[in-house]
Structure 1
Amino acid sequence: MSKKSIKNELPENYEELKKAANRTGSWRTRLSAVEELGNYNTSQVIDILKVRLTHDPVFQIQEEAFRALLELGENVELPKRKKFELVKGANKVFVRVKKSLPKDHNFDEYLTKLKRMRIDVYDAYEGEKGLDWLEEEWKNLK
């Protein structure tokens, strides 16, 4: 396995990657940005990776930031995976969305409304738990 080439400069698309790493509506975009940022050893990049490590609700992104930071020589620890509420108040959001829809709504309608009302909550749970988990939650909401 070859070691990747680490550059001691900011990437040309730094501002774009910085925005992508902090995009609350797309865990996939954040993951991709973190992966790319891991190739650059600058204080600005390390700061972004540390924020993703400690504050991202999707554990896969925390893991990628952790791995990248270790490769950049940083002394960091991987946070414990959150078992319950990924986003504070998410359970209330789920209930509020369901109650805002007609009684006979379906799961797709629920997801559409959740995305419209709270893309950050949708994104965190879709990325961490998956759509099957969200559907089970929806079925069990009162």
Structure 2
Amino acid sequence: MSKKIVNNELPENYEELKKAANRTSNWRARYDAVEELGKYNTSQVIDIMKSRLANDPVYKIQEAAYRILLEFGEEAALPARKKFEVIKGANKVFVRVKKSLPADHSFEDFATKLKRMRIDVYDAYEGEKGSEFKAWLENEWANLK
């Protein structure tokens, strides 16, 4: 399944794809936009790929941007995968959400409020942790003071 590279022209829906590639509340939309934009070797797309490579909190998106940059013949280095905090200060966000809930709240209450208050944090960790996300978040919640 080889990818067709269209040189020196932008897709008709470029502005929409550009917005999706930068949408902090939806890692899947960012990933899909990066993959779609990766078919167009233009300076604008290269700039977006470099930004996703350097700044995206979800490693899968960084990997896609890296691969696309290499396919375009650009020099790129894949950053090391973050071992601890995917989003700087996330633990403080978790504590704030937990403290804003009644003492007898459930994990589901916590997860719902986190998603409502900080979808960017929720989404980044969901994208990074994959199928282990719920168990990981529940463990984080249980260990909050």
Taking structure 2 as the reference length, what is the TM-score of the superposition? 0.93
Deviation at 1:131, TM superposition (A): 2.0
Where do 5+ consecutive residues of structure 2 fail to align? none
Residue deviations 1:88-114, cap 9 Å, x none?
111100001011001111122111111
What residue number does 1:139 align with?
142
Identity, % of aligned positions: 74
Query: How many Å separate the matches in 1 of 2:76 and 2:10?
Result: 21
Q: 1:90 and 2:90 equivalent?
A: yes
SS of match in other structure, 2:122: helix
| 1:1-142 equivalence runs, <5 A | 2-8=1-7, 9-129=9-129, 130-142=133-145
Query: How many Å separate the matches in 1 of 2:108 and 2:61?
Result: 26
SS of match in other structure, 1:87: coil
More displaced stretch, 22-31 vs 123-132: 123-132
Where do 5+ consecutive residues of structure 1 fail to align? none
Residue deviations 1:53-96, cap 9 Å, x none?
01000000000111111111111010000111111111100001
How large is the Cα RMSD of the aligned pairs?
Answer: 1.0
Letter of the 2:117 partner, please give it.
M
Query: How many Å separate the matches in 1 of 2:115 and 2:2?
Result: 39
More displaced stretch, 70-79 vs 126-135: 126-135
Deviation at 1:119, TM superposition (A): 1.0
Letter of the 1:32 partner, please give it.
D
How many residue pairs match? The answer is 141
More displaced stretch, 103-112 vs 23-32: 103-112
Query: How many Å separate the matches in 2 of 1:118 and 1:10?
Result: 33
Query: How many Å separate the matches in 2 of 1:15 and 1:74?
Result: 23
More displaced stretch, 13-22 vs 129-138: 129-138
Letter of the 1:94 partner, please give it.
F
